[in-house]
Protein backbone atom coordinates (compact mmCIF):
# COMPACT_ATOMS: atom_id res chain seq x y z
CA UNK A 1 0.00 0.00 0.00
CA UNK A 2 1.43 3.45 -0.90
CA UNK A 3 2.44 5.90 1.86
CA UNK A 4 -0.18 8.63 1.32
CA UNK A 5 0.28 10.11 4.80
CA UNK A 6 3.91 10.97 4.15
CA UNK A 7 3.08 12.46 0.75
CA UNK A 8 0.38 14.70 2.22
CA UNK A 9 2.64 15.82 5.05
CA UNK A 10 5.35 16.78 2.59
CA UNK A 11 2.94 19.24 0.95
CA UNK A 12 2.78 21.36 4.11
CA UNK A 13 5.22 24.24 4.21
CA UNK A 14 7.83 24.11 6.96
CA UNK A 15 6.98 27.61 8.15
CA UNK A 16 4.23 30.11 7.44
CA UNK A 17 4.60 33.90 7.46
CA UNK A 18 2.50 35.59 10.11
CA UNK A 19 1.93 39.15 11.32
CA UNK A 20 0.68 39.65 14.87
CA UNK A 21 0.48 42.60 17.20
CA UNK A 22 1.54 41.27 20.59
CA UNK A 23 1.19 43.61 23.58
CA UNK A 24 1.12 46.60 21.24
CA UNK A 25 4.20 45.58 19.25
CA UNK A 26 3.92 44.42 15.62
CA UNK A 27 5.71 41.12 15.05
CA UNK A 28 6.58 39.49 11.72
CA UNK A 29 6.98 35.79 12.42
CA UNK A 30 7.57 32.47 10.72
CA UNK A 31 5.61 29.67 12.40
CA UNK A 32 5.21 25.96 11.90
CA UNK A 33 1.59 25.19 10.86
CA UNK A 34 0.87 23.21 14.06
CA UNK A 35 2.12 25.87 16.51
CA UNK A 36 -0.40 26.93 19.13
CA UNK A 37 -0.66 30.51 20.26
CA UNK A 38 0.38 29.38 23.75
CA UNK A 39 3.57 27.75 22.49
CA UNK A 40 4.41 30.77 20.32
CA UNK A 41 4.00 33.14 23.27
CA UNK A 42 6.03 31.03 25.70
CA UNK A 43 8.66 29.37 23.51
CA UNK A 44 9.26 31.87 20.70
CA UNK A 45 8.38 35.25 22.21
CA UNK A 46 9.43 34.36 25.79
CA UNK A 47 6.23 35.79 27.29
CA UNK A 48 6.06 33.23 30.06
CA UNK A 49 3.33 34.92 32.09
CA UNK A 50 0.85 32.87 30.09
CA UNK A 51 0.90 29.45 31.72
CA UNK A 52 0.57 25.98 30.25
CA UNK A 53 -1.76 24.09 32.55
CA UNK A 54 -3.80 21.27 31.07
CA UNK A 55 -3.03 22.01 27.38
CA UNK A 56 -6.63 20.94 26.58
CA UNK A 57 -8.59 24.17 27.17
CA UNK A 58 -10.06 23.02 30.46
CA UNK A 59 -8.20 25.04 33.12
CA UNK A 60 -7.90 28.60 31.76
CA UNK A 61 -4.27 29.08 32.84
CA UNK A 62 -3.39 30.05 29.26
CA UNK A 63 -6.11 32.70 28.87
CA UNK A 64 -5.06 35.74 26.83
CA UNK A 65 -6.99 38.39 24.92
CA UNK A 66 -7.27 37.84 21.16
CA UNK A 67 -8.67 40.92 19.44
CA UNK A 68 -10.05 41.91 22.85
CA UNK A 69 -11.81 38.58 23.51
CA UNK A 70 -10.61 36.11 26.12
CA UNK A 71 -9.50 32.78 24.70
CA UNK A 72 -7.62 29.66 25.74
CA UNK A 73 -4.38 30.10 23.82
CA UNK A 74 -3.61 26.36 23.99
CA UNK A 75 -6.53 25.69 21.62
CA UNK A 76 -5.65 28.24 18.94
CA UNK A 77 -3.44 27.41 15.96
CA UNK A 78 -1.58 30.68 15.57
CA UNK A 79 -1.35 30.27 11.78
CA UNK A 80 -5.11 30.95 11.65
CA UNK A 81 -4.75 34.33 13.37
CA UNK A 82 -2.68 36.36 10.90
CA UNK A 83 -3.21 40.07 11.63
CA UNK A 84 -4.64 39.48 15.11
CA UNK A 85 -3.94 41.54 18.20
CA UNK A 86 -2.86 39.56 21.26
CA UNK A 87 -2.66 40.89 24.81
CA UNK A 88 -0.99 38.81 27.49
CA UNK A 89 -0.72 39.57 31.20
CA UNK A 90 2.62 41.28 30.44
CA UNK A 91 0.83 43.68 28.08
CA UNK A 92 -1.84 44.86 30.51
CA UNK A 93 0.37 47.30 32.40
CA UNK A 94 0.61 50.84 31.08
CA UNK A 95 3.58 52.16 29.12
CA UNK A 96 4.74 53.86 32.32
CA UNK A 97 4.72 50.51 34.15
CA UNK A 98 1.53 51.26 36.10
CA UNK A 99 -0.44 48.09 36.71
CA UNK A 100 -3.81 47.56 35.09
CA UNK A 101 -6.69 48.16 37.56
CA UNK A 102 -7.45 44.42 37.58
CA UNK A 103 -3.83 43.64 38.48
CA UNK A 104 -3.99 46.21 41.29
CA UNK A 105 -7.27 44.75 42.55
CA UNK A 106 -5.86 41.21 42.59
CA UNK A 107 -3.06 42.46 44.83
CA UNK A 108 -5.37 44.54 47.03
CA UNK A 109 -7.83 41.66 47.51
CA UNK A 110 -5.18 38.94 47.84
CA UNK A 111 -6.81 37.15 44.90
CA UNK A 112 -4.06 34.60 44.44
CA UNK A 113 -2.18 32.04 46.46
CA UNK A 114 0.32 29.99 44.48
CA UNK A 115 -0.11 32.40 41.55
CA UNK A 116 0.00 29.83 38.76
CA UNK A 117 -3.51 30.58 37.50
CA UNK A 118 -3.29 34.30 38.20
CA UNK A 119 -2.21 35.53 34.72
CA UNK A 120 -5.08 33.63 33.10
CA UNK A 121 -7.51 34.79 35.80
CA UNK A 122 -6.45 38.41 35.29
CA UNK A 123 -6.73 38.26 31.48
CA UNK A 124 -10.10 36.57 31.78
CA UNK A 125 -11.29 39.20 34.28
CA UNK A 126 -10.22 42.03 31.94
CA UNK A 127 -12.16 40.38 29.11
CA UNK A 128 -15.16 39.74 31.36
CA UNK A 129 -15.34 43.38 32.38
CA UNK A 130 -15.05 44.54 28.75
CA UNK A 131 -17.82 42.12 27.72
CA UNK A 132 -20.17 43.71 30.24
CA UNK A 133 -22.16 40.49 30.83
CA UNK A 134 -21.51 40.08 34.54
CA UNK A 135 -23.16 42.42 37.03
CA UNK A 136 -23.40 40.31 40.18
CA UNK A 137 -21.04 38.04 42.09
CA UNK A 138 -23.02 35.04 40.85
CA UNK A 139 -22.65 36.17 37.22
CA UNK A 140 -18.92 36.81 37.73
CA UNK A 141 -18.51 33.28 39.10
CA UNK A 142 -20.42 31.84 36.13
CA UNK A 143 -18.47 33.80 33.51
CA UNK A 144 -15.12 33.05 35.19
CA UNK A 145 -15.90 29.32 35.57
CA UNK A 146 -13.49 28.41 32.76
CA UNK A 147 -10.57 29.58 34.91
CA UNK A 148 -9.70 27.06 37.59
CA UNK A 149 -7.84 27.99 40.78
CA UNK A 150 -6.60 24.88 42.55
CA UNK A 151 -5.84 26.89 45.68
CA UNK A 152 -9.45 28.04 46.04
CA UNK A 153 -8.92 31.81 45.94
CA UNK A 154 -12.32 32.25 44.25
CA UNK A 155 -13.94 34.56 46.86
CA UNK A 156 -11.00 36.97 46.60
CA UNK A 157 -10.95 36.77 42.79
CA UNK A 158 -14.65 37.67 42.69
CA UNK A 159 -14.06 40.50 45.19
CA UNK A 160 -11.24 41.91 43.03
CA UNK A 161 -13.42 41.86 39.91
CA UNK A 162 -16.34 43.44 41.77
CA UNK A 163 -13.98 46.14 43.01
CA UNK A 164 -12.86 47.04 39.47
CA UNK A 165 -16.43 46.90 38.17
CA UNK A 166 -17.45 49.27 40.98
CA UNK A 167 -14.64 51.66 40.06
CA UNK A 168 -15.76 51.59 36.42
CA UNK A 169 -19.35 52.32 37.45
CA UNK A 170 -18.20 55.28 39.59
CA UNK A 171 -16.12 56.67 36.73
CA UNK A 172 -19.06 56.36 34.33
CA UNK A 173 -21.26 58.54 36.56
Where do the domains of the chain lie, and which CATH numbers do they carry? 4-91 (3.10.20.30), 101-172 (1.10.150.120)
171 pLDDT band, cuts 50/70/90, is confident
- Separation CA 128–CA 138 (nearest Å): 13
pLDDT at 11 > cutoff 90:
no
pLDDT of residue 73: 98
> pTM to 2 decimals?
0.90
Half-sphere exposure of 120 (CA within 13 A, CB side): 27
Output the pLDDT for position 113.
Answer: 92
pLDDT above 90 (res 24): yes
The CA distance from 124 to 130, in Å, is 10
Amino acid sequence: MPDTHGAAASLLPDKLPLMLTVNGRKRELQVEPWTTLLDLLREELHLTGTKKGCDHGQCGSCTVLLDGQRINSCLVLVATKDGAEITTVEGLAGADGALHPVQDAFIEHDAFQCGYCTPGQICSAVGLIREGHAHTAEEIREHMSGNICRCGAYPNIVAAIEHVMGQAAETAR
